[in-house]
Structures are given as structure tokens and as C-alpha cells.
A and B are shown apart, each in its own frame.
Chain A
Amino acid sequence: MNILVFTKRVAATQEEELRITGEGQAVDLSKVPFKVNDWDNYCVEEAVRIVDKAGGSVTAISIGDAESDEVLRRAIAMGAKDGFLVETGEVLHDPFVRGELIRGFIDKEKVPFDIIFTGVQAEDDQFGAVGGVLGGIMGLPYASMVIGIDAVEKDHVVVRRELEGGLQEKVKVAIPCVLSIQSGINEPRYVSIMGIRKASKVERKVFKASEYEKGAPKIELTKWVYPPKKGGATMLDGELAEVCGQLLGILKEKGVYQ
């Protein structure tokens, strides 16, 4: 079983206050740390577990700038055999452009595969669409929100898809296929600095994205804006003890704490 896993290096913005620059031209990420996209980390783990049992190999592929090599080293440390960087300095917002580029790359480089894994979404753009677009472009069966892989056979997989409100659906998907993996599907292994250092000895191949057809973007990002203001909270200000005292007061007033 040959599994291609797409992994993306993203800005870790959870704890950061983001600033839009100029008249909405850009989001300032200069002081923000970068990391592997959470969903892709689950993807790599799931792929490695499958080939550990079924045989075959995992190839990690990243589309991005030279720094994205970092997530490939990480994937190799987790058990991927190869790491391919499809290098581009451009930020590709359009999932269609990403999908076309992936198809172009796989076709031209004749990359063999049985299953393609993508994360359900990337933490930065949250499009959640590259896997589906790729399935549609390549004419491969597709399933997203995959929260469990129950069986891997020669010609099909049985997966569970996460629906709303705790419900799941079990579906059978023919191989070759594209699957988008949901976070929480497994417990990704810990990767040590030593492990990553060792992985850097494995050669990662670099390809230039400009070598492949990706077509013209079909959507255009015209401007960045801050979220529309809703009501907004009454902020409790002051010393720590004072603020916490106010909080307890609110709990008492609402009748949930005596």
C-alpha cells in the first residue's frame, strides 16, 4: 500500500493576536511561530500505522517555500520513507490551484500511489477543500471527515466519517482514492529533536512548482478584514484577585454558585 500524505507548514496563531497591515493587503505573521498543520500530523501517523501493518510505504509531500522542509523531516521522523517538496514562494489560497498543481506533479513525476491522504483542513486558510477538489479533478472516489479506518484491503478501505452531534457513518471506498483525515483519529507519536535530526540525513527531493501546470486561480482574495463586531463582552479589569472576585460574584448572581 503506497500512501501519499500532504503536509503543510502553517502559522501557529492560536495564542497570537493578528494584525492586518496597510489597507488590508496582508496579515502580519512576522512574529508568529510556524509548525506542522495539526490535521496533517494525524494524517502522517495514520499512514505510517497502515503501512506498518499492510506493507508499502508513505511518501510525505509538502507544497510551500524552502522552510516547509521542516514538516517533511518531521514526517520522516514519524516513519515516512520519502519527503518531496514542491517548492513555491507563492501563497496558494485557491484550493483549485493546489489541486491542479498536485495532479500535475503526480502525473509528470509518475508518483505511484494507492491512497492519497490530506488533512480535512489547514489551520491557516481553513478551506477544507483541497482533498475534494483533487478527487474531482482526478476522478477518484473521495471521503472526508475520516475519523476511523476500520479495514484496509487490497481494493478497498472501510472508513468511518464524522458527522454532526457525535454521529458517524461507515462507508466503503474503492482504492485508489483520496481520503481527508479528521483530527483526533489517532494519537500521533511523539517526535524528539534527536529523531528529527536523524531524519534530516534522509534526502528530501525538491521539485519546482513552476514545472507543473496549475492553471489560473478561479478566486481572488481582494482584502483582509477583522471579524465583524458582535455585541462584545463586558471586560473585567483590575488586579487578579479583584477580577476573580467579580467573576465569583457573577456566578452567585446567576445562581450557580453559593
Chain B
Amino acid sequence: MSYALIVAEVRRGVFEERNLDSIGLGALLGTQAVLLVPDGAYEAGEKLVDAIVKVKAAEEVYLNPMNMGRMLETVFAARGKPDYILFTQSSSGMESAAYAAGLFGMPVITDVSGYDKEGGFFLKSYYSDKVFGQFKATGGPAILTVRSGSFREFAAEKPAAAAVDAMEGVSAVETRTFLEYVEEEKTDIDITKAEFLLSVGRGIGSQDEVAGYEELAGALKAVLSGSRPVIDKMWLPKARQVGTSGKTVKPKVYLAMGISGAFQHIAGMKDSDCIIAVNKDAGAPIFQYAHYGIVGDIHKVRDKIKELAKG
């Protein structure tokens, strides 16, 4: 049987919303859609796929690339090798997808955000979304990781409910074992509560410039936040990070300065009421998501606004 295997991501008992993007791409591929999911008490897109395989495995066992390899072998043995295996583009999906590609010798294309059915090619980001590569899998059945938000509108209800299969769990590997979850430290600042965020990115250039943006935030009564590079360099604390690995924010106004707009950042702020972007590069992807844009030197813009705000 020709089919696409959709490996669902379940973390802490939650069937992640980004699974809908995998299901949506699965629908576009036009084959039977079979969903693999750890057995548990959650809605798992029962009406959106043709079949569901519920594997008796604890979530932590399931979200382990080596165990996933064994589970996939069991699925292949029962149903044959699929035409595609779809994972989410996430911390667990990326890990298991790449490992499975190596294990089974399958082509892998990651961070897929578009599909052209006629040409049979997949769109993949390069250089933080400044350009995209059109890829074809030439080496047989392919493994894809699917960018969140890209295909969920194509996930549609099927006329009949999915056939549900139970699958026995595999013996878990001992070479990698889960120990515990570690929560982020609680802090006084909660950027998710702010109505007005001034967010700074790599474009500010150096740590010495941070103080100037703190002053601007003060003058505008905005809360200061940042994108990943600024947090990685420890110019701002982790609690102020906007993006998939930080906070998801929806302020009234999101003023982004020197942020080019990597997808992981966009995912954390795209639902803001009003997005204003200031960037030196007119081709920065953030302008695609912003309501207002200014192309220019961010430090000059900063200093001029401060001057006008005082006046």
C-alpha cells in the first residue's frame, strides 16, 4: 500500500498543534495517511487521517530517536515501507527524523514549508528565509520535517473515521534514557503580559548598544525583549526571549529592531496586533510579516525617536 506515515509529536500529554501541518502536507501528497501516535487520552486527529497506529509506549520512550527507529521498523514490517515519513520541525522531530534517515538510508529534507505537486518538489529555507531551495527526493521514499504553520489549512476531515490499530511497544534502548524535565526559572518579568514590546536582534551589533535600547524602551514605556542571538550572547536574560524556544507573545504593538525574522522568531510573535519592523536589509523576511516597516540604520532610528519622544 502506498502511504505517508505521519509521526505525531506528543509532549507532556499534549498532541501538539503542529501535527496538523504534517497531516496537511500528508493530504497534499495524496497518498493514504497513517498517523503514528503513543497510546494516550488525547484527540489525535481521528477524523483527519485514514488510519491510526497507537503504540503502547510512554511518551519519553517514544520521543527518543533510537526507540523511534525500532518503532518504525515494526510499522514497516506490518505495512511495508511508506512513500514518505513526516515529522514535525521541532526539537524532537528534527532529532528523530535525521536519525531515521541515517538508520534506514532514506533521503531527508528538513523544515519543509511548501510543496509543488506538479513538479513534486519541496520548498526549504536557506539563510534564515532570505532564499528558498526547491528540492526533490531522488533516492526513494523520503523523510520530511514540516514547518509549523505551513500546511494546517490542508488538513481536512475524511468521510470515514480512521481505522485504529494497536501496536505493541518496543524494548527501549539503554544508550539514551530520559531522566527528568527541567522547567525554566521563574522571574519577575513576564513579557507575555506586556502590551507594547520593543524587541531587539542581532542587528544591534554589540552589547554596548543594549543600554541605548533600554533607554528607548523607558522613553516609550515599552518592555524590552529580544530574539535568540541576543539571548545566546547573554546581552539579555533568557526570560526576555521571543520565539519557539522562548516565549510566544501577542502584544498590541511589537516593535522589532535589528531582527531579520528567522522562522523560529516569527512563530513567537506573528499574532501580535501590530508589528513594526526596522531593519537595514530591505529583503529581511520580517517585512513579510510586519504591518509597518522602516528600512534604515536602527541606531539612528533609535536616537531620533528618543529625541522626539522627549520633545
Contact = CB atoms under 8 A, between A and B. Distances in A.
Interface in A142-175: 142-145, 158, 160-174
B195 interface: yes
B42 interface: no
B304 A244 contact: yes
The SS class assigned to the A binding surface is mixed
B202 to A, nearest CB: 6
A135 B102 contact: yes
B30 interface: no
Contact of A227 (B66, B94, B99, B132): B132
Contacts of A34: none
Contact of B253 (A168, A245, A251): A251
Contacts of A24: 134
For this complex, into which size category does the number of interface residues on chain A fall? 35 or more
Given A158-B179, A219-B109, A228-B114, A133 B253 contact: no
Contacts of B105: 96
Interface in B90-123: 90-92, 94-111, 114, 119, 121, 123
A177 B127 CA distance: 29
A96 B128 contact: no
Interface residues of B, number: 109
Contacts of A27: 126-127, 131
26 contacts: A14-B202, A17-B281, A95-B101, A124-B126, A131-B98, A135-B99, A136-B101, A137-B102, A141-B175, A141-B176, A169-B179, A170-B179, A171-B177, A183-B228, A184-B228, A184-B231, A218-B106, A218-B140, A218-B142, A221-B134, A226-B131, A231-B289, A247-B276, A250-B274, A251-B196, A256-B222
Interface of B: 11, 60, 65-66, 69, 90-92, 94-111, 114, 119, 121, 123-140, 142, 173-184, 195-196, 202-203, 220-222, 228-229, 231-234, 238, 244-248, 252-253, 255, 260, 273-277, 280-283, 285, 287-296, 300-301, 304-305, 308-309
